[in-house]
């Protein structure tokens, strides 16, 4: 069974589905073997591997196997059971472990993977963040996905696609958890001022045509604590909501919201997204921020979004700029 960088065997996915469907009964080993099309010996080996991933399976000598509990794993059959047939997620490629779902998705896109393909991993060994950073990807606690889109748009639309993804993620996270979720330009999700979700958009394009856009989304869902170097700036949904959160529910809601906002962008254009983003983020207007770019840091105040997706800012000397790249960090003002 693939535990490394190979995508999850469809037969393992089928095995999990079979156990879930028959969770109240003991399923005979030969029945499992014949339904999946492998030997009983192979079934035995896979059961052992699933147990090592936290799936509790009762083995009854001479009778078969029964599922006791299954952790919240994001294998395609379980996601599809909730999602149904859906344009985004029509094809789901699952890994128990990979380097980066964005790296995998970019390769798949170059090989012709269809619009709406979703790459999901339980764990990433080299999760990529924005601005050359890494993304902490603890096993089976977060959501690590990359969505391949093939929009009929020019490369100039990429910033709005990025905002669109942040907006969709905000709607999904707040509706599943009930938490108040803010969006920091361009698309970090914050809860109580700390980051719970980051989005890295990568693409392949010609001068006037996008071939493929990969939306890489990382959400801290059930982490019970953050690593020391992130604890002041990052948090998880579980830590903020004080309860465990279903990763499948967040993922399925996210895929639906991405589809809804993507259609809105195609039908109604950039402004439909930028206006909604402005309404959804406290960073859009009047926020005192530190603007961090490749050349340094400067204080400024935000003054809204341009329809291209750029963040409009005013520096303290009165000059204005449209920010296309970099990041902003809130500056807490001292109230006398
Ligand atoms: C950020 O720096 O805020 C963006 C983080 C994006 C992380 C996600 S996790 C899934 C996907 N695969 C990656 O390697 N990165 C993105």
CA neighbours closer than 13 Å in the CB half-sphere of residue 163: 32
Give Cα separations from 227 to 97, 138, 200 (angstroms).
Answer: 20, 10, 21
Q: Is 116 left (phi over 0), alpha (psi -120 to 50) or beta?
A: left
Q: Which atom of ligand 1 is nearest to 102's Cα? A: 12
Strand partners, 219: 143, 197
- Token look-up 């996008």 returns 210
Q: Which atom of ligand 1 is nearest to 127's Cα? A: 14
**Ligand 1, atom 10: nearest CA belongs to which residue?**
144
What confidence score (pLDDT) does residue 5 get?
Answer: 62
Residues 311-330 have pLDDT tens digits of 999 999 999 999 998 899 99
Cβ atoms of 222 and 215 within 8 Å: the answer is no
Phi, psi (rounded to 5 degrees) for 325:
-140, 175
- Winning range, highest mean pLDDT, from 18-22, 56-60, 67-71, 280-284: 280-284
CA neighbours closer than 13 Å in the CB half-sphere of residue 202: 21
What confidence score (pLDDT) does residue 240 get?
Answer: 98
Separation between Cα atoms, residue 46 and residue 43, nearest integer Å: 5
What confidence score (pLDDT) does residue 311 get?
Answer: 97
Global pTM reads 0.92
Residues 284-305 have pLDDT tens digits of 999 999 999 878 899 999 999 9
User: How far does residue 217's CA lie from ligand 1's centre (Å)?
Assistant: 5
Residues with a CB atom less than 6 Å from ligand 1: 100-102, 124, 127-130, 133, 135, 144-146, 188, 198-200, 216-218
Q: Which atom of ligand 1 is nearest to 130's Cα? A: 2
């Amino acid at each position: 069974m693939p535990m490394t960088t190979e995508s999850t065997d469809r037969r393992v996915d089928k095995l999990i589905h079979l156990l879930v469907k028959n969770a109240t009964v003991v399923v005979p080993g030969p029945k499992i073997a014949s339904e999946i099309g492998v030997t009983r010996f192979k079934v035995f080996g896979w059961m052992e591997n699933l147990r090592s991933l936290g799936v509790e399976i009762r083995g009854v000598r001479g009778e078969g196997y029964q599922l006791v509990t299954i952790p919240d794993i994001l294998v395609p059959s379980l996601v599809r059971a909730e999602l149904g047939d859906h344009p985004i997620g029509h094809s789901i490629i699952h890994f128990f472990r990979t380097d980066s779902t964005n790296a995998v998705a970019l390769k798949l896109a170059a090989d012709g993977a269809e619009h709406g393909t979703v790459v999901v991993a339980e764990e990433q060994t080299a999760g990529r963040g924005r601005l050359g950073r890494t993304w902490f990807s603890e096993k089976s606690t977060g959501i690590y996905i990359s969505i391949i889109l093939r929009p009929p748009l020019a490369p100039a639309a990429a910033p709005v696609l990025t905002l669109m993804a942040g907006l969709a993620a905000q709607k999904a996270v707040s509706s599943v958890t009930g938490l108040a979720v803010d969006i920091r330009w361009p698309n970090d999700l914050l809860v109580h001022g700390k980051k719970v979700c980051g989005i890295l958009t990568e693409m392949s394009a010609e001068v006037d045509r996008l071939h493929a856009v990969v939306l890489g989304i990382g959400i801290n869902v059930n982490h019970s604590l953050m690593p020391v170097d992130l604890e002041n700036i990052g948090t998880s949904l579980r830590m903020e909501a004080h309860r465990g959160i279903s990763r499948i529910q967040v993922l399925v809601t996210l895929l639906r919201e991405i589809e809804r906002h993507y259609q809105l962008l195609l039908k109604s254009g950039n402004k439909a997204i930028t206006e909604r983003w402005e309404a959804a983020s406290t960073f859009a207007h009047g926020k005192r921020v530190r603007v961090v770019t490749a050349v340094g840091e400067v204080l400024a105040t935000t003054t809204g979004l341009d329809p291209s997706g750029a963040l409009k800012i005013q520096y303290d000397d009165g000059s204005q700029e449209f920010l296309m790249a970099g990041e902003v960090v809130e500056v807490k003002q001292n109230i006398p």
